[in-house]
Structure 1
Amino acid sequence: MIPNPIYILAIESSCDDTAAAVLENNTVLSNVVAGQAIHEQYGGVVPELASRAHQQNIVPVIDAALKKANITKSQLSAIAFTQGPGLMGSLLVGSSFAKSMAQALHIPIIGVNHMHAHILAHFIDEEGFDKPEFPFLALTISGGHTQIVKVISFFDLEIIGETTDDAVGEAFDKSAKILGLPYPGGPLVDKYAQLGNPKAYKFTKPRIPNLDFSFSGLKTQILYFIQNNIKLNANFIEENRNDICASIQNIIIEILMEKLKLAVKQTGITQVAIGGGVSANSGIRNAIKESEAKLGWKTFIPKFEYTTDNAAMIGIVGYHKFLENKFNDISVVSSARIPF
């Protein structure tokens, strides 16, 4: 018999954010995230340091999530956790804690695919945000993934396009590093891009067939562009930062939208949702919204706090898995690479 309400404690620890959330059915009662500033000095996430920080953060974060939700551990129906993909050491901290706590409370555990969660984040019950209807297309864009997914139902998903090399988030961050911007650089590129001319500098789009993406060539192109211009003017970046960022962001948006338009044409599906950390980018959000008026799409953009890594999105997958009795036993294994 399915309890009502269902209380899901969700844990997310795939990279460098330790997060916990409590959901009552499909409503978020709390969503707590602890970041890790230590990686800034290294210009990227250091896996060993990330796992150590998760060990320090996980107990206070879960405690804060339960207190904010105003429920006790005994009220929990299940614990959902990120099974993968992600950094192995980080994933193990979350999964080990979830297993131990679930055993102590005699409640089930639910392993969740991180990318699946980015897609189902749209089904969190949030005032002012519509939920997509099946089938729809999901553009999932993050530091590690770039995918177009055909979503038939909550658990019937098909990747119809993905990156052949680097993810779009990495393209943003590496471009920022080339420009001398601190980590994480993607949000800073977005910030400066809003002040610049997106047509100031022209970059060429990679010729990748069908619905797949490639960003490694673009990164190399940006590197050579900056190096060549610095030879002519040592202050080139400083004097043109806004225009450079705007031009980089513009070409990335063009690449994403070109593939998305092709996916809509091939599938006939005009409901389009975006998710993943890079969906926080203002230029991408604007391009998606403009497609509603220009192309007749129905678009869905998640609440900002559900775009970057968070536990609420893990919890919504956990809730729908709970309804279907899709539980895991204690032998469930975390994996740095895990298919849908």
Structure 2
Amino acid sequence: MYTMKKVILAIESSCDETSAAVCVDGRIKSNVIATQAIHSKYGGVVPELASRAHQQAIAPVVMEALAVAGVTKNQLTEVAFTQGPGLLGALLVGSSFAKSLALGLGVPLLAVNHMKAHVLAHFIEEPQPSFPFLCLTVSGGHTQIVRVDDYLDMTVLGQTQDDAVGEAFDKCAKIMGIPYPGGPIIDRLAKEGDANRFEFSKTEMPDLDYSFSGIKTSFLYFVQNNTQKDVAFVEKNKNDLSASIQKCLIAMLMEKLVRAAEQEGIHEIAIAGGVSANSELRSTIQGIGAEKGWKVYIPKFEYCTDNAAMIAMTAYYQSLGQDYADMHVSPMPRMKF
């Protein structure tokens, strides 16, 4: 039996992964993820289907997380959940389960910001960045450059004003007839393509903000115009198209990140979020980091996509400051950073 101060169960249900993790005194003991495959045939996440899948998966996932960690529910000292941002129905499943469990056990409740949790995924395992550091958080719904001065002291320096880079990857994939989620498939196809074959118009934004809607439109028109000349254009050039659009999107990300690092005078650089699993992005940031003298930090793949381990880690630091929520707390689909 454990003798410890804090045993936190965390639940993540913001989109299309149902996940539960157990954190014991700041150490992750389990991280169970159930991915929803049903959305692939619809070309994107269907909120109602996501909510139903969460309802079916949440109890088994939580039970497995407890079993893997070797703890019982009666040993839990706190229960945490993702408050937002995310899909309302999906968030409701996780928050309702967490509140019910915390109430039944008579333990405190912790409401976690999903985006801050992506940043703190860097503290699950070694090596860990030193403060202050910059984190480029890239996912299907968000693209942000964050200055991190302490575990819970973060400032957004720049962010997308429309589509996130993950959306841009998936939408460009859909234009090429690639099934959802298309980002990982573009990454794979790009390895066999010529990244310098095609060029696309980049959207210019002031300061450190991003915009990806323009490049998506540029890619759409480019493909449509060439398909009118040759109906097999995409099939003949899918590898080169994938490599070229990927290079363009990553270049847009890196341009602002380099500017932010110079502006803030920071050389500790991290990336987080689902798109940080992209192999070319990882390679590019490490290459630029070597040139610029950065220390670059990239989480393991399992901590890049949505997972409860990052929620548990954030909850742990919140619990140290007794930043608890009451039982009337509500999900916040558009939760700000």
Provide the TM-score with structure 1 as the length reference: 0.97
Residues 1-340 of structure 1: matches in 2 within 5 Å? Answer: 4-124=4-124, 126=125, 129-340=126-337
CA deviations on 1:277-332 (whole Å, 9 max, x unpaired) are 11110111111111221110111101110000000000000111111111111011
In structure 1, the gaps of 5 or more residues are none
Conservation of the 8 A alpha-carbon contact between 2:139 and 2:274: yes
CA deviations on 1:2-42 (whole Å, 9 max, x unpaired) are x8342110100000111001111222111111111111111
Helix, strand or coil for the counterpart of 2:16?
Answer: coil
Conservation of the 8 A alpha-carbon contact between 2:201 and 2:214: no
- Amino acid corresponding to residue 336 of structure 2 in structure 1: P
1:122 CA drift (Å): 0.4
Once residues 158 and 181 of structure 1 are traced to their aligned partners in structure 2, the CA distance between those partners, rounded to angstroms, is 36
Once residues 339 and 184 of structure 1 are traced to their aligned partners in structure 2, the CA distance between those partners, rounded to angstroms, is 25
- Amino acid corresponding to residue 110 of structure 2 in structure 1: I
Provide the TM-score with structure 2 as the length reference: 0.98
Conservation of the 8 A alpha-carbon contact between 1:26 and 1:123: no
- Amino acid corresponding to residue 260 of structure 2 in structure 1: A
Percent of paired sites with the same residue: 57
Conservation of the 8 A alpha-carbon contact between 1:190 and 1:249: yes
Helix, strand or coil for the counterpart of 1:335?
Answer: coil
1:44 CA drift (Å): 0.6
Helix, strand or coil for the counterpart of 2:316?
Answer: helix
1:246 CA drift (Å): 0.2
> Which ranges of 4 or more aligned residues in structure 1 deviate by more than 3 Å?
none
Quick check: 21-30 or 328-337, which moved more? Answer: 21-30
1:204 CA drift (Å): 2.3
- How many corresponding residue pairs? 335
- Amino acid corresponding to residue 17 of structure 1 in structure 2: E
Conservation of the 8 A alpha-carbon contact between 1:141 and 1:168: yes
Once residues 309 and 207 of structure 1 are traced to their aligned partners in structure 2, the CA distance between those partners, rounded to angstroms, is 29
Conservation of the 8 A alpha-carbon contact between 1:23 and 1:29: yes
RMSD of aligned alpha carbons: 1.0
- Amino acid corresponding to residue 44 of structure 1 in structure 2: G
Once residues 265 and 177 of structure 2 are traced to their aligned partners in structure 1, the CA distance between those partners, rounded to angstroms, is 43
Helix, strand or coil for the counterpart of 1:248?
Answer: helix
